[in-house]
Amino acid sequence: MIEAAPNLLEVRGVSKTFTLSAGLFRRDTGVVRALDDISFSVPAGSTVGLVGESGCGKSTMGHVIMGGLKADAGEIVFTDPEQGPVNLVGAGKQTLRHVRLNMQMIFQDPNASLNPRMRLFDLIAEPLVINKVLSGKALEERVVQLLEQVGLSPRYMFRHPHALSGGQRQRVVIARALALNPQLVVADEPISALDVSIQAQTLNLLKDLQQERKLTYLFIAHDLGVVNHFTDTTVVMYLGRVMETGVTREVFRQPLNPYTEALIGSVPRIGGHKRGRRVVSTGEVPSAAKPPGGCHFHPRCPYAQDICRKEVPALREIRPGRQSRCHFAETLELHGMTSEPASAPVPH
C-alpha cells in the first residue's frame, strides 16, 4: 500500500550504489554510493532545484527518477492523474509505461540528445508516433504548434539540427520533451552547454512554458545564481547526501548548513570582492569512492569539531520547512547571499 502523496513527486529514502571494476577480468575495485538515503518532495506546479558540486549525485537522481537507473532502496512516488500515487520503484511494466508518459527529461547537451540525421519534424514527432498518439494532418499541426511554442519558426521543420544554433537546438529538445504533454520535466543542467547570451532566453522560455502548461520542474544545476532565480525550493546535495532543503529565498538569505554557505560564498557578485571565484574555497571534493567518515563535509568545513569526524549528522528539521544535515545547525551563524550574483542570467 503506497502512502498518499500530497506532492506530484516524492523521493523517499532512495539509495543507489555503483560497483567500480577494473582490469582485464573486470575485478570489483570499490563502490560509489552515488545516492545515500535521499528524500525530498516536488510540489505540483513548482520548480525544485537540485544543486551541488560535480559528482554529488544530481544526474544519478534524475536518471533514477526517470527509470534509466534502478534504485537499490527507497520509494519514488509519482501522483499520476489517472492512476493516483504510483511507486516507480517496483511498479509493473504496464503501469510504468503509462506513468512515464507524464515525465520527461531534458539534458545538458542538445547535440547529444538530437539525432543529426533526423529532420526537426521527425525529431519532434517521434514521441507522438512511437506512442501512437497522432498521425497525418493532426501530427503535422501538433509539430507546428510545438515549434511555435518554443519560439521556432515552422519554416525550420524540414531542416536538420546542424542548421541551427545551440540555443535553437535546445528549443527543439524542449519541444520534443513537451510533445506528450508531460506533467513533470527533469531538466539536467539544461543551460550549462549554451552561450551565456542565450542562457537567460532559454530560462525565460522554460518559465513561460511552465506557466502556460502548469508544468512541474526538477531543475538540476551546479550554478547557484541560476538556482536562486529560477527555483521555488532548493535541495543541496554533497557526495550523495542531502545537506539542506528549504524555500530557495530563505536558503540563500540564511543558509543552515556550512556546505550551503560555502557554495553561496563561491558565487561571483556584482561589485563584490569575490568576482571571478567559481570554486568552493575550502578545497576539492573528496573521491566519492572513499568519502570521509562522519559528516562527509568535515575535511572542508571551517566549523568542524571532533564529533563531525565520527558521527554522521542526521538530516533534521531545524525550522518549519527547513532541513539541515549538520550537528551544529541550530547554533552556527552562517552567511547568506548579500548581493546579486554577477553570473546569473536573470529571467524577466
Ligand X SMILES: Nc1ncnc2c1ncn2[C@@H]1O[C@H](COP(=O)(O)OP(=O)(O)O)[C@@H](O)[C@H]1O
Residues that bind ligand X (CB under 6 A): 18, 20, 32, 34, 52, 54-60, 288
Residue that the C-alpha cell 516507480 belongs to: 88
Torsion angles phi and psi, residue 126, rounded to 5? -50, -50
Among ligand X, ligand SF4, Mg ion, none, partner that 79 touches (CB below 5 to 8 angstroms by kind): none
What's the CA gap between 97 and 299, in Å, rounded?
A: 44
Strands 103-106 and 184-188, bridge-based pairing: parallel
Which class for 29: exposed (0-12), middle (13-18), buried (19 or more C-beta within 10 A)?
Answer: exposed
3-state SS string over 33-81?
EEEEEEEEEECCCCEEEEECCCCCCHHHHHHHHHCCCCCCEEEEEEEEC
- In the window 290-309, what residues touch ligand SF4 (CB under 6 A)? 295, 297-298, 301, 303-304, 308
Amino acid at 137: K
Nearer to ligand X, 21 or 83 (CB): 21
Number of residues interacting with ligand SF4: please give it, by CB under 6 A.
14
Least separation, in Å, of the C-beta of 58 and Mg ion?
5
CA 274 distance to own-chain centroid: 26
Question: Rounded to the nearest whole angstrom, what is the least distance from the CB of residue 217 to ligand X in the complex?
Answer: 17
Q: Of the two residues 38 and 71, which places its CB atom closer to ligand SF4 in the complex?
A: 38
Q: Which of residues 42-81 bind ligand SF4 (CB under 6 A)?
A: none
Q: Which does 190 bind (CB under 5 to 8 A by kind): Mg ion, ligand SF4, ligand X, none?
A: none
CA dihedral 103, 17, 259, 265 (to 10 degrees): -60
* Contact in structure between 260 and 254 (CB atoms under 8 Å): no
| Residue 326 binding: pick among Mg ion, ligand X, ligand SF4, none (C-beta 5-8 Å cut-off by kind) | ligand SF4
Residues 227-286 interacting with ligand SF4 (rule: CB under 6 A): 257-259
Q: Which of 326, 334, 337, 344 binds ligand SF4 (CB under 6 A)?
A: 326
Is residue 59 close enough to count as binding Mg ion by CB under 5 A? yes
The least CB distance from residue 274 to ligand SF4, in Å, is 21
d(Cα 93, Cα 96) in Å, to the nearest integer? 5
How far apart are alpha carbons 229 and 210 in whole angstroms? Answer: 15
Taking the least distance from each CB to ligand SF4, the nearer of 184 and 326 is 326
| Interacting residue with ligand SF4 among 55, 167, 255, 313 (CB under 6 A) | 313
Site for Mg ion, rule CB under 5 A: 59
Which residues are near ligand SF4 by CB under 6 A? 257-259, 295, 297-298, 301, 303-304, 308, 313, 326-328
